[in-house]
Amino acid sequence: MLGKGIIKGMAETARNFLGSYVSAERLTTVQYPEQRIPQIEKARQFPFLVFDGDDPMKGLRCVACQICEKECPPKCIYIVKSKDKRVDYKGQMQLYPATFDIDLSVCMSCQICVEVCPFESIKMDTAYELSTTDRFGGLMVNKHQLAKSNEHYRHIHPTDAAASDAALAVEVAKAQAKAKADIEAKAKAAAEAKAKAAVITPVAPKPVAAT
């Protein structure tokens, strides 16, 4: 029947409208800002940078590889690499972002930056009350504003954060196994070199006693 979908939609709207007078479950709106609808786990607004430990800057996972900057469709990520390196979460020396800015007024919440990041460094936040009266720079956020703890990530996206933690644990285990294998290989090479030197070192002849 022509228009059947429209009639079904209108009926559902009427059911919710009339039902809202007798049942709270039929209410589809709340008295914002006094009330807020809890966000679902898959909700996403804008990106943030994950840090581990207590220090937001030292604990940033980002290694300034700039993949997200290149892949961001509207080009609203600005990264400057550090000149020096520091120890990362795997115990390896890595670069870090001297500058990491995102212009949230341009960001379209596509999550591509999250998907291309190889280091579980950037994730989507659920914060949405970001309005500002500064239309030119108010939504340009820097790494200090973007840094949020892994505990925050676990709180807003527990399923994804558990998968991320597991992936990082595998990387850490691999790095530790490689470091251990390197140490053992070096020790073995040193022992072999020592043994070889002992074999080829000529033994000085004993002096013949005078008769």
Q: Which residues would be at the binding site for ligand SF4 (CB under 6 A)?
A: 47, 62-68, 72-74, 76-77, 79, 102, 107-113, 116-117, 119, 121-122
Which of residues 20 and 71 has its CB atom nearest to ligand SF4 in the complex? 71
Q: What angle do CA 137, 142, 145 make, to 5 degrees?
A: 105
Which of residues 70 and 174 has its CB atom nearest to ligand SF4 in the complex? 70
Residue 24 in tokens: 């709270």
DSSP secondary structure string for all residues of 77-118: EEEEE-SS-EE-TTS-EE--EEEEEEETTT-----HHHHH-T
H helix and E strand count, the chain: 6, 8
Shortest Å distance, C-beta 110 to ligand SF4: 4
Which of residues 9 and 73 has its CB atom nearest to ligand SF4 in the complex? 73
What span, in angstroms and rounded, lies between the C-alpha atoms of 41 and 39? 7
Which of residues 16 and 78 has its CB atom nearest to ligand SF4 in the complex? 78
Shortest Å distance, C-beta 184 to ligand SF4: 31
Shortest Å distance, C-beta 108 to ligand SF4: 5
Residue 125 in tokens: 């936040």
Shortest Å distance, C-beta 151 to ligand SF4: 19
Shortest Å distance, C-beta 182 to ligand SF4: 24
Burial, 115: exposed, middle or buried (Cβ in 10 Å; 0-12, 13-18, 19+)? Answer: exposed
Residue at token pair 């009350």: 129
Which of residues 20 and 82 has its CB atom nearest to ligand SF4 in the complex? 82
Which of residues 16 and 110 has its CB atom nearest to ligand SF4 in the complex? 110
What span, in angstroms and rounded, lies between the C-alpha atoms of 78 and 70? 10
Shortest Å distance, C-beta 73 to ligand SF4: 6
